[in-house]
Amino acid sequence: MEKDYRAVAQSWLDGNYDPATKCQIIELRNNDPAGFEDAFYRNLEFGTGGLRGIMGVGTNRMNKYTVGMATQGLANYIKKHCTGDDIKVCISFDSRNHSKEFAKITADVLAANGLHVFIFDNLRPTPELSYAIRKKGAQAGVMVTASHNPKEYNGYKVFWSDGAQITSPVDKDIVAEVNAITDPSMVKFEPGDECGEIETMGHEMDEAYLTDILSLTLSPESRARHKDLKFVYTPLHGTGVRLVPEALKRLGFENVYHVPEQDVSDGDFPTVQSPNPEEPSALKMALEVADREGADIVLATDPDADRMGIAVRDNDGRMVLFNGNQTGSMLTYYILTRWKELGKLDSTKYVVKTIVTTELIRAIAEKFGVRVYNVLTGFKYIAEIVKRNEGKGEFICGGEESYGFNVGEFVRDKDAMIACSMVAECASWAADQGKTLYQLMQDIYAEFGYYRESLTSLVRKGKSGVEEIAAIMSDLRTAPPAELAGSPVVRVIDYNKPEETGLPKSNVLQFFNEAGDVVSVRPSGTEPKIKFYFGAKGDDADAKIEKLRAQFIK
């Protein structure tokens, strides 16, 4: 809700805020009127996944006060809904500016509320936090990260006892508790008489985590035969810097090259425009190292090491980037092939994909007789399926088009450590057949058909933008397209109708045509944009993608 930002800012200047904060407010007011308004015109929203925003002073910024208030609300919820004498919460943080500071504030507030806190001794990946929550038997967890957002941002992700990010109804109930904290004076920043213990986690948790996730690998003989494969790895200044190279070393790979400038954990991300492995420019330095060293594969992870991007050599020896759909499909094919060869497949095994992820994964799974779950966008919904099937079925793997993938049930979020490990092992398995990963992908297309996907986002800012996005969705609902790229539409799914989809309500539309093409449309939940996901199948898929884009993007 918009507020009188000047009055709110004055309340900070008059209130019990530290002198440095007050000086920054005055400087902002004097030198950046637009930034001053944006910092105080509303409260930074604690959404169903937590906080994410620009760092700085003000109610609409990530700072020690907004983090403290969010943590007090979380503590209040935990104390109301969790029983026992030893209620535990795990905390981790990435390399972003102020992440360590925000993690310490989170730990102090939780402990001041009588909770037992486990915090990593230094930056660690999001998937290791997910693992630690279940390993410690904790009731909740907090990861301080803004994932792959630009350097100005930070965030605060909340996890629950199953190691997954919070979902309904827990998420909405926590939001209500956070919204009830209206002033920093309501926050227990300092320890009291019933202060809980704060313990650090470190090497022992790393060892347990690596041991468990690497137990999921499938082809030790192939790895041994091709230990000389050459990899370049970059953490893009983030948390994967230690664990990904260590995982590859333990798998026996002897040639892992680094990008030394990007091994530096730096929240300014000085060598990239965006620390996002989805962006080709983020891999530029790693590709240069690959060409210099004659490497076969490039691996890159984002700052909190839950997303992974890769590049491989094509038939002409040039490095080409795989997108998230290609990597997810290739790994699904490899893992299911090996599970079948090892006699591990039966009717209780399953894979999971999100609704905007390639249908190639479905085709691969169905060929192996494996059930496929289709869930809403967000890895927390994949984790929800895993939780629901505990004791009844086994999760093999799952992924989403936005470069997230996971294997097995140790971690309940996307995990770039196991994904990098599986890509490396898959490369050795393909090499046993005299093939590169690029050639393996071509073989998959030859068997299942050529699939091509593309994402286009339309940015529409401000109140008029919100109205325009709503109008686009309304028009598509009332007058859905009769055809896609010349082929008649045979199925329309409106995810606003949970009674029809069996999934939580979501403002997403999907259109399928007779030829096997699909268009998914959804407004972003965090940015002023509407996203169009185009998927085409067939030898002419590239041309059909362009036709679909022209049909929907006016």
Yes or no: say if 121 and 200 are a contact pair by the CB < 8 Å rule: yes
Neighbours of 200 (CB within 10 A): 12
End-to-end, the C-alpha distance of the chain in Å comes to: 32
Nearest to 305 by CA among 429, 451, 415: 415
Yes or no: say if 310 and 423 are a contact pair by the CB < 8 Å rule: yes
The residues that bridge with 143 in the sheet, in sequence order, are 92, 157
Q: Is the peptide bond before 33 cis (omega within 30 degrees of 0)?
A: no
The residues that bridge with 62 in the sheet, in sequence order, are 55
The span from the CA of 151 to the CA of 50, in Å, is: 18
Task: Give residue 252's region: left, alpha or beta (phi > 0; psi -120 to 50).
Answer: left
Yes or no: say if 141 and 129 are a contact pair by the CB < 8 Å rule: yes
The span from the CA of 64 to the CA of 21, in Å, is: 10
The span from the CA of 7 to the CA of 9, in Å, is: 5
User: One-letter amino acid identity for 101?
Assistant: E
From 92, 95, 147, 222, active-site residue: 147
Yes or no: say if 518 and 511 are a contact pair by the CB < 8 Å rule: yes
- Whether 421 sits among the annotated catalytic residues: the reply is no
3-class secondary structure, 142: strand
Q: Measure the CA dihedral 71/73/74/80, to 10°.
A: 140
Nearest to 91 by CA among 143, 44, 127: 143
The span from the CA of 376 to the CA of 385, in Å, is: 11
* Residue 513 phi, psi (nearest 5): -110, 175
Show which residues are catalytic: 147
